């Protein structure tokens, strides 16, 4: 068993640790997947009301950022006229700001404006589509792309060049996990583990003094020593083909990547950043040099013929206990 440890322990959280607390588990549905929360509390009887509040928070994020919901703010932006500015609420603004930052760092390997290509390859609300030819892919690329957006951070508004389609499925679930953890902290629950569709955020520790342990998933048939993460003040997100099939797209080419990557896990300070970086790493590998400024802690599994090779980035190696 390999153990990944946080680079920093939060002394304020340690001071508030309660070994007599109970653990409450809540969950539900959101963003076409499941959410789950475990948190420490002295009053487990409030769980039903807290679960309802968390579900309402997640429902609001769907209304803002779903590309499946025609009435969502994202869908309305996608339909907006050329030259229109759309004012964004704080959640949507935070996701766009980080998405555009990662897009710039990765030279578009992560792209929040890839909606046309997602639909073209049959991964959007329209469902399965015929395999597109090169001409159709070129048209899809030309119609979208993060460089056609203008982001006014001061006014929190986004400009529509005309026909640009956002798709935030590579970052929104990570943000949702952050938002739920933040909401729990606001309610006084600073020790929790939150999962939204496989993206996880951990705060504080368990009542028994252990961290919130999370085992990184390994694809079936791949023989690797387990890797367990002490998720204290950190987040982990994954990207890969082994569970959902070949849904990955390289926004730069418009086609699925051919680098052999079958799974990526990224550990970062927030779920939102880990989510976006997992996508970027899966596309950029083996050349991750553009991401060097943010020192990405990643485990990458690459299929080479009949063999799966595990690559750990140096920042992740430095976290192994």
Known binding residues for Mg(2+) are: 170, 275, 279
| Contact of 108 with 251, CB cutoff 8 Å | yes
User: What proportion of the chain, given as a percentage, has pLDDT over 90?
Assistant: 87
Which residues neighbour 264 within 8 Å (Cβ) at sequence distance 6 or greater? 238, 239, 240, 278, 281, 282, 285, 298, 299, 300, 301
- Backbone Cα Rg of the chain: 20
What tens digit of pLDDT does each residue of 45-61 get?
899 999 999 999 999 99
Mean pLDDT to the nearest integer, 274-301: 97
Identify the residue whose tokens are 């928070």.
57
* SS3 category, 128: coil
Known binding residues are: 170, 275, 279
| Contact of 310 with 234, CB cutoff 8 Å | no
What tens digit of pLDDT does each residue of 243-276 get?
544 568 999 999 999 999 999 999 999 999 999 9
At 247 the pLDDT is 63
Please determine, for residue 33, whether its predicted confidence score (pLDDT) is greater than 60. Answer: yes
At 29 the pLDDT is 97
At 243 the pLDDT is 52
- Per the DSSP assignment, residues forming a β-bridge with 47 are none
Give the residue extent of every domain in the chain: 81-159
Mean pLDDT to the nearest integer, 316-320: 97
* Complete DSSP assignment for 285-312: TT--GGGGGG--EEEEEEEETTEEEEEE
At 11 the pLDDT is 85
Its pTM surpasses 0.85: yes
Place 242 in a pLDDT band, splitting at 50, 70 and 90: low
Place 9 in a pLDDT band, splitting at 50, 70 and 90: confident
* Complete DSSP assignment for 182-197: HHHHHTT--SEEEEET
What tens digit of pLDDT does each residue of 139-148 get?
999 999 999 9
Measured CA to CA, the distance from residue 300 to residue 4 in angstroms comes to 15
What tens digit of pLDDT does each residue of 169-219 get?
999 999 999 999 999 999 999 999 999 999 999 999 999 999 999 999 998
User: What proportion of the chain, given as a percentage, has pLDDT over 70?
Assistant: 98
| Contact of 11 with 233, CB cutoff 8 Å | no
At 277 the pLDDT is 98
The CATH classification of domain 81-159, taken from the options 3.40.50.300, 3.40.50.10800, 1.10.3980.10, 3.30.70.360 = 1.10.3980.10
Give the tokens for residue 208: 């028994």
Look at phi and psi of residue 200 and say left if phi exceeds 0, alpha if psi is from -120 to 50, else beta: beta
């Amino acid at each position: 068993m390999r153990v990944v440890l946080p680079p920093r322990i939060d002394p304020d959280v340690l001071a508030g640790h309660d070994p007599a607390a109970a653990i409450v588990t809540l969950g539900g549905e959101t963003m076409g997947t499941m959410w789950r929360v475990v948190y420490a509390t002295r009053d487990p009887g409030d769980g039903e009301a807290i679960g309802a509040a968390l579900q309402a928070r997640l429902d609001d994020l769907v209304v803002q950022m779903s590309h499946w919901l025609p009435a969502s703010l994202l869908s309305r932006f996608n339909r907006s006229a050329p030259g229109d500015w759309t004012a964004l609420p704080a959640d949507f603004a935070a996701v766009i700001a980080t998405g555009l930052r990662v897009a710039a760092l990765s030279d578009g390997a992560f792209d929040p404006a890839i909606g046309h290509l997602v639909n073209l390859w049959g991964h959007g609300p329209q469902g399965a589509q015929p395999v597109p030819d090169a001409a159709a892919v070129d048209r899809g690329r030309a119609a979208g792309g993060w460089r056609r957006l203008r982001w006014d951070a001061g006014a929190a508004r986004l400009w529509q060049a005309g026909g640009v389609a956002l798709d935030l499925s590579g970052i929104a679930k990570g943000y949702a996990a952050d938002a739920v953890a933040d909401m729990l902290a606001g309610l006084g629950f600073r020790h929790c583990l939150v999962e939204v569709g496989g993206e996880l955020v951990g705060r504080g520790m368990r009542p028994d003094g252990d961290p919130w342990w999370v085992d990184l998933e390994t694809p079936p048939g791949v023989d690797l020593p387990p890797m367990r993460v002490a998720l204290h003040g950190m987040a982990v997100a994954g990207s890969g083909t082994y569970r959902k099939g070949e849904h990955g797209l390289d926004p730069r080419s418009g086609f699925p990547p051919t680098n052999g990557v079958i799974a990526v896990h990224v550990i970062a300070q927030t779920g939102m950043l880990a989510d976006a970086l997992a996508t970027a790493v899966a596309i950029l590998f083996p050349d991750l040099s553009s991401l060097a400024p943010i020192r990405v802690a990643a485990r990458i599994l690459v299929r080479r013929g009949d063999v799966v090779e595990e690559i750990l980035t140096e920042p992740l190696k430095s976290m192994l206990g």
